[in-house]
């Protein structure tokens, strides 16, 4: 590709991204995360030492050049709203850039919350029309990944599609948990089935299916037309996967867009951290020497709000009382005071006191862990005061008396479980 054609290609993508509105569906209850979503929506759950889950789709929009973003909130949204107001208010309205919060406004039915993913967008259809977008990018607010939406937009336009669905390649065994597409050799979607017992196989493969990531690009006029039709359809659950997509496959051009690494052609990193085990595992992966998700990539920064904190500190250095952390990530404001931290991830403002050992543990912000504790394979929720001498992760039966223990043996500890009546955990 010549320099001039490269410039033209980049200009075309920047034109596409400039005229795209992104909608992040961030109203999810996230009940499989158990007590971690008692007081916050799933997209507001902390992740990776200093971020929240919603920072990933938001950062993808920023880095892709999409600066018109609506965040559709519903369930226990206070901490999510505060996070976006504090951390995402840097866009310039004079340039038509914004991150707008769009709660369920009951614009069409005074008693109606968002009934489904499509209904959430439909309830804001008048706002969207007033902004005259060419394309609308619909995103889930609760997945961890890095993706250039500009490349997907270019593919959508090149293929003259009405709707393009972002997909990941999954094994047939895992595909039963997703919405799965049956596609032809040109990636045209022929069928879309939610959580199928017998998933359709990708062309040319024997053991792989294409699963929806919950990422959709619509031509704006086409989307408005389909939302109005769906709103008038009796018995519809007003959901993209269950209703809108199956209804348009036969009559319109619906394409699948595989989410692959542009250099290697391999499946790119994508995680649904919707269970305690998946959340723990995705955080633990970050500690590795070369994790699949590179948070140190300067070309694709993950933006967030973070409090101003002093550097992490490790104090005391005698044989029995040494402040140390190995194979770990430790955030600002932490004090490791004569304690040992191994293969663990500490969010900001955590204090671990003398003679305590942490192993394979995630500690959320503002936690104080007392002396002489032994904690293994746990998630310590924000604001916990862990009493001196507490032992977690060594006796499952004992842990289950006080805490939530996941199927995979991860122990979730919250202030309430410790008898600390700090009900409201942001």
Q: Which residues are annotated as a binding site?
A: 114, 179, 194-195, 212
Backbone torsions φ then ψ of 230, nearest 5 degrees = -65, -40
Q: How far apart are CA 329 and CA 47, in angstroms?
A: 12
List helix spans (H) across 73-219. 78-87, 117-122, 125-130, 149-158, 172-175
Residues 6+ apart with CB under 8 A from 280: 362, 377, 379, 406, 408, 410
CB 154 within 8 A of CB 38: no
Q: How far apart are CA 41 and CA 78, in angstroms?
A: 9
CB 369 within 8 A of CB 356: yes
Unique residue bearing structure tokens 């690494």: 261
Q: How far apart are CA 361 and CA 390, in angstroms?
A: 14
CB atoms near residue 39 (< 10 Å): 18
- 405 pairs with which residues across the strands? 411
List, as residue ranges, the binding site for alpha-D-glucose 1-phosphate.
Answer: 114, 179, 194-195, 212
Closest by CA to 169, choosing from 197, 203, 143, 119, is 203
Instruction: State the number of CA atoms in the 13 A half-sphere of 99 facing the CB.
Output: 24
> Helices then strands (H, E): number in the chain?
11, 31
Residues 6+ apart with CB under 8 A from 363: 344, 345, 346, 347, 350, 352, 369, 380
């Amino acid at each position: 590709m010549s320099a001039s054609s490269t410039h033209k290609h980049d200009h075309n993508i920047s034109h596409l991204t400039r005229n795209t509105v992104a909608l992040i569906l961030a109203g999810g209850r996230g009940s499989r995360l158990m007590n971690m979503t008692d007081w916050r929506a799933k997209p507001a759950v902390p992740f990776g030492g200093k971020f929240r889950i919603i920072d990933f789709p938001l950062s993808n929009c920023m880095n892709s050049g999409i600066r018109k973003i609506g965040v559709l909130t519903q369930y226990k949204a206070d901490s999510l709203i505060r996070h976006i107001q504090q951390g995402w208010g840097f866009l310039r309205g004079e340039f038509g850039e914004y991150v707008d919060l769009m709660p369920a406004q009951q614009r069409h039915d005074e008693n109606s919350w968002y009934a489904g993913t499509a209904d959430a967008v439909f309830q804001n259809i008048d706002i969207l029309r007033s902004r005259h977008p060419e394309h609308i990018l619909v995103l889930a607010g609760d997945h961890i990944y890095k993706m250039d939406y500009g490349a997907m937009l270019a593919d959508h336009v090149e293929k003259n599609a009405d709707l393009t669905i972002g997909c990941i390649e999954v094994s047939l065994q895992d595909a039963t948990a997703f919405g799965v597409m049956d596609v032809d050799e040109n990636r045209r979607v022929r069928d879309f089935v939610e959580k199928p017992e017998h998933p359709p196989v990708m062309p040319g493969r024997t053991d792989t299916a294409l699963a929806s990531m919950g990422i959709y690009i619509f031509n704006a006029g086409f989307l408005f037309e389909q939302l109005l039709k769906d709103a008038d359809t009796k018995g519809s659950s007003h959901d993209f996967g269950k209703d809108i997509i199956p209804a348009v496959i036969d009559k319109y051009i619906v394409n699948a867009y595989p989410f692959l690494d542009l250099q290697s052609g391999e499946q790119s990193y994508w995680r649904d951290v919707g269970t305690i085990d998946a959340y723990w595992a995705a955080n633990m992966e970050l500690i590795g020497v070369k994790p699949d998700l590179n948070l140190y990539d300067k070309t694709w920064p993950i933006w967030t709000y973070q409090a101003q904190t002093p550097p992490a500190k490790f104090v005391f250095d005698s044989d029995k009382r040494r402040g140390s952390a190995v194979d770990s990530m430790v955030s600002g404001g932490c004090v490791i005071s004569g304690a040992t931290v191994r293969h663990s991830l500490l969010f900001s403002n955590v204090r671990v006191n003398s003679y305590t050992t942490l192993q394979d543990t995630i500690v959320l912000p503002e936690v104080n862990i007392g002396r002489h504790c032994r904690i293994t394979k746990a998630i310590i929720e924000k604001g916990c005061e862990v009493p001196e001498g507490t032992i977690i992760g060594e006796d499952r039966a004992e842990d289950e008396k006080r805490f939530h223990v996941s199927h995979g043996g991860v122990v979730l500890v919250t202030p309430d479980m410790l008898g600390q009546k700090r009900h409201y955990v942001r």
